[in-house]
């Protein structure tokens, strides 16, 4: 009798294991269960799905204005950006792009992504000297202290003369943006608002997207 009970228990365990294996195999065949390697999981987490277009809001004469931006990818630096239809992105040097108005090329903004370990004190000093030597002896400095997804904490350096106005914005340690140097060449308020609105759509990507 003891032998029979032990045999019965063994048969029950074997049947249970076979049933479980069969269920697991069926789930795998149906695509409901799978094992993702660590490298693949990281790749999926880092993947950014970007739509072809999105609405971008900016201020115009004190009121919010919405305009459609279209996805563009830099061939020069690892990022994508949404552009208004009257702007285009051009490569300037290996690590610098210019976002420029198609009909008025005097309205443009240079975009430079900075390394994560960039020395911002040195970058600010070099930028100050450049503005001081090329644009004007007077360089105004401001730190943006208002809530803003892109600009909060950014250092702004501005210099101007009778011929041109240049504003440089140094952006660091923002949760959803890479470290950046933005150089704006215009005094038109609406143009500046539109340029910065497009800059707020920048997403860091892998080269070759």
Across 49-75, average pLDDT: 91
- Residue-wise pLDDT for 135-191, tens only, equals 999 999 999 998 999 999 999 999 999 889 999 999 998 888 999 999 999 999 999
- Residue-wise pLDDT for 76-97, tens only, equals 999 999 999 999 999 999 899 9
Q: Considering only residues 37 and 54, tell me which one the structure prediction assigns the higher pLDDT.
A: 54
Q: Is the pLDDT of residue 30 over 70?
A: no
CA dist., res. 54 & res. 61, Å (int) = 22
Write down the pLDDT at residue 178: 94
Across 29-33, average pLDDT: 33
Write down the pLDDT at residue 35: 31
Written as one string, the DSSP assignment of 95-141 is TEEEEEESS-TTSEEEEEE--TT--HHHHHHHHHHHHHHHT-S--EE
Across 4-18, average pLDDT: 53
Write down the pLDDT at residue 206: 79
State pTM to two decimals. 0.75
- SS3 assignment, position 203: strand
Contact call for residues 115 and 96 (beta carbons, < 8 A): no
Across 64-69, average pLDDT: 95
Tokens representing 97 are 């792009």
Tokens representing 145 are 């202290």
**Average pLDDT value for the chain:** 82
- SS3 assignment, position 39: helix
Q: Considering only residues 28 and 20, tell me which one the structure prediction assigns the higher pLDDT.
A: 20
* Other Cβ atoms within 10 Å of 197 Cβ, number: 20
Place of tokens 């390697």: 37
Percentage of the chain surpassing pLDDT 70? 76
């Amino acid at each position: 009798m003891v032998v029979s009970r032990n045999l019965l228990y063994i048969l029950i365990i074997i049947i249970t294991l076979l049933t479980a294996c069969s269920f697991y195999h069926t789930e795998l065949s149906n695509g409901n269960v799978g094992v993702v390697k660590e490298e693949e999981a990281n790749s999926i987490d880092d993947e950014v799905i970007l739509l072809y277009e999105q609405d971008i809001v900016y201020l115009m004469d004190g009121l919010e204005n919405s305009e459609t931006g279209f996805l563009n990818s830099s061939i020069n630096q690892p990022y994508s950006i949404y552009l208004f239809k009257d702007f285009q992105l051009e490569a300037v040097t290996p690590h610098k792009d210019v976002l420029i108005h198609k009909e008025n090329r005097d309205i443009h903004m240079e975009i430079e992504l900075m390394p994560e370990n960039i020395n911002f004190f040195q970058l600010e000093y070099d930028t100050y000297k450049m503005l001081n030597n090329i644009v004007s002896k007077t360089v105004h400095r401001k730190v943006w202290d208002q809530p803003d997804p892109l600009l909060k904490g950014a250092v702004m350096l501005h210099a101007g003369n009778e011929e041109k106005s240049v504003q440089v914005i140094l952006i660091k340690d923002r949760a959803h943006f890479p470290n950046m140097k933005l150089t704006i060449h215009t005094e038109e308020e609406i143009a500046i608002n539109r340029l910065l609105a497009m800059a707020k759509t920048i997403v860091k990507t892998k080269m070759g997207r």
